[in-house]
Amino acid sequence: MSLKKSSTKFFVLFICSVFNADADNYPLGARNSALGNTSVSLSDVWSAQNNQAGLAFLKNNSAAFYHEQRFGLKELSLNAATTNFSIKKGVFGITISSFGYSLYSENKFGIAYAKPLSTTFSIGVQLNYFHTHIADGYGNKGVLVPEIGLQKKLNEKLIFGVHFFNFTSTKLAHYTDERVPTIVRLGMNYSFSKQVIIALETEKDIQYNPLLKAGIEYAPRKNIFLRAGVSSEIFSFGFGLNVKQLQLDFSTTLHPTLGYTPQIGMSYRFDKKTN
């Protein structure tokens, strides 16, 4: 074990503890990132991670990949993939994500099911298997974590969403009573026109101060999207391109001291006929 490696590991652990990254509920998707993680009321391919209730409002089956390199560091990479497919009464979603590198990693496997309770109201649940790996004999640990989300369309323009992550307060380790964080998010989005959506969200992690977030998406053309988002200390922006069934999204967030985090996402919308 070289000194360099162990110091890198220490740094990673430090960053993880500073940024509340231990077995966290990572927000996924470059659209979501560009909008300042205001996705609780949105419905898109990453709903399987961000609010499962959103899956119920999807019109097509789809699949997506996502990659992010936190503060430009390879060791802090996050890779994720998701897919969703509708059955008669609802929609299934599967998400896999992996954060970290060989010496430290957090992996998540989730399976979601969402069901529209009416044309304007939906509910979604997810069960995750969380797996943390720390090298050098610290070992591995896996736990089960549940999620539940709701979305309500108040009218054509206004949609509300709420999401509960780890409401069971699952324990990760007996030592210092370490638990997977419990997070509640509540938000809304409003479509000012077909081109402009504004999303607001408030997030409370059981350990941290509440966060207020806001995002805006503007489509100057049908297949081009410009986005920006703000929350305390961190802002983000990005853009998306839609080519037929393929959508490409780019975004970046900026932390005042740690710098840029670039993100890229790609998703594919399957034809309805193939369902």
Partner 1 sequence: MKKIIFQPQKWIIQSNLWIVFFALLFSYKVSSQEILSDEELEIDEKVEMNVENSDAVENSDYTNLFEILQAYHKNKLNLNTATANDLSDLQLLNNLQINNLLNHIRENGLLLSVYELQTIDGFSEEIIQKIIPYIRVGKVEEKNNFSLNKIFKYGKSQWTSAFEQTLEKSKGYLIPGKTSYLGSPQKIIERYKFQSSNFVSAGFTSKKDAGEEFFSGSQKQGFDFYSGYLSIKNNHFIKNIIVGDYQASFGQGLTTWTGFGFGKSSDVMNIAKSGAGIRPYTSLDEINFFRGIATTFAFKRFEISTFISDKKTDATIVPSLNEKDSLAVSSIKQGGLHRTITELQNKNSLQEKIFGGNITYQKNNFSIGLTALQTNFDKPIQKKNILYNAYDFSGKINTNAGINYGFSHRNFYFFGETAISQNGGFAYMNGILASLSPTVSFSVLHRNYSRDYQNFFSKGFSENTKTSNEKGIYFGIEMHPFSNFSISAFADYFQFPWLKYLVNAPSYGNDFLENASYTLSSSIKLSVKCRQHKRFKNMPSAGLINGILPISQNNYRFQIQYNARDFMEFMNRLEYVNYIQTNTVPSNGFLISQTIFLKKKNKPFSISLNYTLFQTDDYNSRIYFLENDFYNRYSISDFFYKGSSVSFSGKYELSKKIILSVRATQLFYQNKNNIGSGSDEISGNTKNTVAGQLQFSF
Binding site for partner 1 (CB under 8 A): 190, 192-193, 195-196, 198, 214, 216, 218, 228, 230, 232-233, 235, 254, 256-257
Q: Exposed, middle or buried: residue 87 (CB in 10 Å: 0-12, 13-18, 19+)?
A: exposed
CB of 61 to partner 1, least distance (A): 31
Count the Cβ atoms, other than its own, within 10 Å of residue 274: 8
Nearest Cα residue to 153 out of 228, 56, 230: 56
CB of 193 to partner 1, least distance (A): 4
Question: How distant, in Å, are the alpha carbons of 10, 16, 61, 64, 100 from that of 44?
Answer: 37, 28, 10, 10, 26
**C-alpha–C-alpha distance, residues 85 and 63, integer Å:** 9
Return the number of the residue (158 or 173) whose C-beta is nearest partner 1. 158
CB of 36 to partner 1, least distance (A): 10
Return the number of the residue (13 or 226) whose C-beta is nearest partner 1. 226
CB of 252 to partner 1, least distance (A): 12
Return the number of the residue (180 or 199) whose C-beta is nearest partner 1. 199
Return the number of the residue (121 or 190) whose C-beta is nearest partner 1. 190
Count the Cβ atoms, other than its own, within 10 Å of residue 26: 17
CB of 66 to partner 1, least distance (A): 24
Return the number of the residue (172 or 228) whose C-beta is nearest partner 1. 228
By the 8 A CB rule, do 247 and 269 touch? yes
What's the one-letter identity of residue 29? G
Nearest Cα residue to 126 out of 98, 96, 100: 96
